Chain A
Amino acid sequence: MVRDIENIQHSFSTENDGNISKKQTFLTYGEQDKFAYYLLKLVASLVIILLLGMIAMLLNSSLSAIEEFGIGFALNDNWNPVEDEFGALAFLFGTLVTSALAILIAAPLSISVAVFINEILPTKLGKLISLFVEMIAAIPSIVFGLWGIFFLGPFVKDVLTPFLKSNFGFLPLFQGASFGIGILTASIILAIMITPTITSICREVLKTVPKIQKEAALALGATRFEMIKIALIKPSFSGLTGGVVLGLGRALGETMAVAMVIGNSPTITASLFSPAATMASVIANEYAEADSDLHLSAMCYIGLLLFLVTFIVNSFARAIVWKKQRKARG
């Protein structure tokens, strides 16, 4: 570092002196620029190469399953390792349902928390609370899983299920036996896990709303609630949506905690109390001990599908955010 500075100073002084400069410095300014440019270019393209490499690897290892099952793989719900018959529909279902339910719980919660921290709490207290919220993101997912097994599962079984059954028992969603392990428990765990992600993005989005806009709303006689609704939530709606979709992206890929509480049964049912399985959880569960090549390949195929689903969700989020930015620029 110090040498660099000396070098620069040196080249400064010699540059002014004229022709000897090139001999004494290692690189000229132009060369330095070029060097940095190519270095950064290399690093940036490495990221893309890494991504493409991962896709290529996944494609390559799922090739035999793609040949065997084709596109129908995603629409077939039979997963039988003993007979070497594989289909991903049940896992696709489990992944999409748990993630959607998690978003349904986490989105209103996170946006409310963000508004509460930004607008209602005093700054210092808000910072403290947001620190706690962000700390949730630092909890390892296996700890969430254990908590799910030992606390949330029994809670769902003994408290939540009787409540839901007695109030909404007429819906097919809340019928059937509940053992505390299944779609509902997994979704609640997921919701808690993605709350910090969504909250912090929403806070950033809400911060961009100009103060003058909020004050204007208040000056026009709006109550605090109306101000939040009209001047805060409405203009930043697409940004908030982007944050929620990014949370969804995380929920789709979450593995360990879900695998521990979802019941790992690749079935498609209407009841939220019944067990299911997700794409990520089946890979984590069965990969280590799979001994048939087709089984391994089928799991890579599931990985590829999961990649595709997350990719679509993330592009969707990006599109929303970009659209919003373009609008903001006018």
Chain B
Amino acid sequence: MKSLFSLILVLLMATNTYAVTKVNGAGATFPYPMYSKWFSEYNKNNKDVQFNYQSIGSGGGIRQLIKQTVDFGASDAPMKERDMKKAAWPVKHIPTVLGAVSVAYNLEVDSNLNLDGETLSAIFLGDISKWNDGRIQKLNPSVKLPNKDILVVRRADGSGTTSIFSDYLSTVSTKWESKVGRGKSLKWPVGIGSKGNEGVTATVKQTEGSIGYVELAYALKNNLPTVALKNKAGEFQKPSVKGVSLSAASLKKDAKVTASIVDAAGKGVYPISAFTYILLPVKEETVQLKEVKKFLQWALTKGQDMTEELHYAPLPTSLAAKMLEEIK
């Protein structure tokens, strides 16, 4: 017993000889797989710093940042004006990767489905309740659509995915904007709510006639049939990492990074996507803050090469360069 105790003591002292800077962050769950991969890769060459990121959700991340219990926050949606006011200092938004939302369905048809924003919002509003509705048929002239009820599947838990999706629907449909609006949790007119991306995936997979939205990474990993959406250029685009990066490239040079990029103009664009941000307090430079900045500089350069294997879309190089300037 005694020897074990002294062994532990010795080990503790041994590890203490390294001066490890601990950096705490909290926030969005959506980029968590990417961040944890980044932290572990970054840690291999930077042993003197240890990142501790808790994926408690964007809302929680913002709250913790305001309360100053963490060194940086992370959020899928930009911080709201009223939250910004609560913080003791201005907050800088640094986009790290792009997320996209894909529309998955379960229907026995012989070819892939095409939809446009207007029709998609009509489905999620409950205005279109059958698969062989004329509006869907018009977009898919060669497909024989069955006379089946549409089951709308959506997230039950508050989520950045819902926020991006509702932002898109509000942008393309005025009816959606006035009736439902944008948000992480909504008052849904129809459908059933499942918990998490995995819940939506399971429900869609099991229920014929269902349609739901999931994160791009989820649809790609699970090989779900996904809808090709009509973009501003008039092309039907299936969700892809490339299409998402292109929608970010549409962002004008002087535009704010917190601007919405759904339904972006340009060829090859997939229309439902958004940035996910790391939130940096603009204040006196602490050791922790310095380490976060150093990490971000790495993440925006070398880190971007690792995004695609995890099905995230990298930032366009011009934007990454701009952000590097911003951090300095």
Contacts and interface: CB of A to CB of B under 8 A. Distances in A.
Contacts of B194: 181, 260, 263-264
B207 A291 contact: no
A289 B57 contact: yes
Contacts of A126: none
A17 interface: no
A286 B59 CA distance: 10
Contact of B180 (A82, A149, A181, A285): A82
A288 interface: yes
B262 interface: no
A265 B193 contact: yes
Interface string B184-205: 1111100111110001001100
A80 B80 CA distance: 18
B195 A260 contact: yes
A288 B195 contact: no
B264 to A, nearest CB: 23
A285 B192 CA distance: 13
A181 B202 CA distance: 12
A300 to B, nearest CB: 14
B158 A150 contact: no
A286 B207 CA distance: 25
Interface residues of B, number: 36
Interface string B159-183: 1100000000000000000001111
A179 interface: yes
B58 A82 contact: no
Nearest to A78: B187
A67 interface: no
Contacts of B149: 177
A265 B188 contact: yes
Given A263-B192, A265-B191, A289-B57, A82 B203 contact: no
B48 interface: no
Nearest to A295: B185
- Of the listed residues A179, A281, A284, A290, the one surrounded by the most CB atoms of chain B closer than 10 A to its CB is A179
B259 to A, nearest CB: 19
A259 to B, nearest CB: 6
A79 interface: yes
B86 to A, nearest CB: 10
B74 interface: no
B132 to A, nearest CB: 16
A21 B37 CA distance: 69
A239 interface: no
Top 10 closest pairs, chain A to chain B, by CB: A289-B158, A264-B193, A264-B156, A263-B192, A288-B57, A80-B187, A291-B59, A82-B181, A81-B185, A285-B157
Contact of B158 (A260, A265, A285): A285
A288 B187 contact: no
A273 to B, nearest CB: 11
Interface residues of A, number: 33
B275 to A, nearest CB: 17
Interface string A57-94: 00000000000000000000011111100000000000
Contacts of B202: 149-150
A82 B182 contact: yes
A79 B188 CA distance: 10
A153 interface: yes
Nearest to A289: B158
- Of the listed residues A79, A81, A154, the one surrounded by the most CB atoms of chain B closer than 10 A to its CB is A81
A81 B184 CA distance: 8
Contacts of A291: 58-59, 62-63, 80, 83, 184
Interface string A133-174: 000000000000000011001100100000000000000000
A243 interface: no
B186 A81 contact: yes
A129 to B, nearest CB: 33
Contacts of A289: 57-60, 157-160, 184-185
B56 interface: yes
- Of the listed residues B58, B149, B159, B187, the one surrounded by the most CB atoms of chain A closer than 10 A to its CB is B187
A259 B210 CA distance: 19
B158 A264 contact: no
A260 B192 CA distance: 11
B120 interface: no
Interface in A173-216: 177, 179-182
